[in-house]
Structure 1
Amino acid sequence: ADSLKKRLSAVTREKRDYEERFLKLTNELEKKTKQLIDTQNKKMELESSVGELENTAQQQLRGLASQSEMAIEAAQDKLTNAYRQIQNYQQFIKSLGHDLIKKTSRTRSEARESLNKRERDVNREANSSLQKAQSLAKNILNLSQSDIDDIMSADGDPERMAMDDMSDDKRRDKRWLKKCEKLVVSKDDFVIPLVELFVQKMEERVDLLSQMYS
């Protein structure tokens, strides 16, 4: 009977020990499970936060990219418009220069024609006196008509001199146009030099008009 009691007492102690261990393990398992759940919840919260940050960053990047594209397009449009305006301005200056040259050349021709008309009028009035002088010179100096013609043409051919003057004028006009075109495309400040060139050509035309009507 004593032996049975001892064995029962030992079994009872072992059972109590196992129960205590089981309870302890159960408590530890519950703590670990709670910690695991908390960790998983935090992980999910972090993943959600990271996802929101990524979405926000992507939206901001897309917005910046869109703004950059719009800014680039706007800058390109402004540059294209500015380049077109520069081309139009250069074309305007060239056309204005050609028109001024054309009018000046026409005024030169009119001035020459006016001068020639005056000379013809004077020559007609002096023709009879000239013929008398030539006849007197032939008689006194015993000269032929060909000798008289050589003497009268010693100063040169008037028509040839007029043609030479016209060629010189055309060369000067071409040089003037080249100066204008060079100034317009120059990177330096060309406003004052360009104005001076145009004033120079306009003053030339005014002088020609003055000669015509003086």
Structure 2
Amino acid sequence: MMASTWLIKLILSHLITDFILQPRSWVDERNARHFASAKLYLHGLVTALLAWVMTGWQYWDIALVIGATHILIDGWKSFRKQTATYFLVDQLLHLLVILGCWTFTFRQWSALQPAWQQLNAQPYTWKIITAFVFLTLPAGILIGQFTQQWRDQIADAASLANAGKWIGIIERIIILALVLKGQYAAIGLLVAAKGIIRFNEKDRPEIKTEYLVIGTLMSIGIAIITGLLVR
């Protein structure tokens, strides 16, 4: 119980310091001056202090690690373009540091082998993992191959396909989770909502409409079939 509470507190402190206690002016100065920005180190100090308060005074070394790595990660990100990809990478690195600190503080390494053996003895877990992985890029590439003839006839096919790729991945993951939980009515609501949003445009070329409808139906169908196979 203490270990899980400790981890949640560290995540909470990260959310507070990175999104609430960090003014936009600090971010702008960091992006402009990089490691020469005083606000970068001030932000790292605030992050370390709150992590220290949240976890307890005896974990001062963990607070130092989190503060130092936070400065390095944010400094590295300041040299990159301000895109969603680098934002996600930045947040992932921060969370990996938190998980690493939690693991080295509370996990008993002798228990890892029995835990791994127990995981290997549960084929259903591996089925679920395989299904989620399949429904990301592999399923997207499969759908792209089958819809190639329609995509080749569309002027802005590249941008349309790129946006559709990420929408499709999120859509299939949500549908798989709903199928595994047996929430088929929710899938109907998801499909209806997407239909209202995506197919309500006027004066859309017929070929583009066909491409979107076929791609959507294939995406939904593959996700549902995959979920049923796992079940």
TM-score, normalised via structure 2 length: 0.24
Select the structure of larger CA radius of gyration.
1
Higher relative contact order (CA 8 A, sep 6+): 1
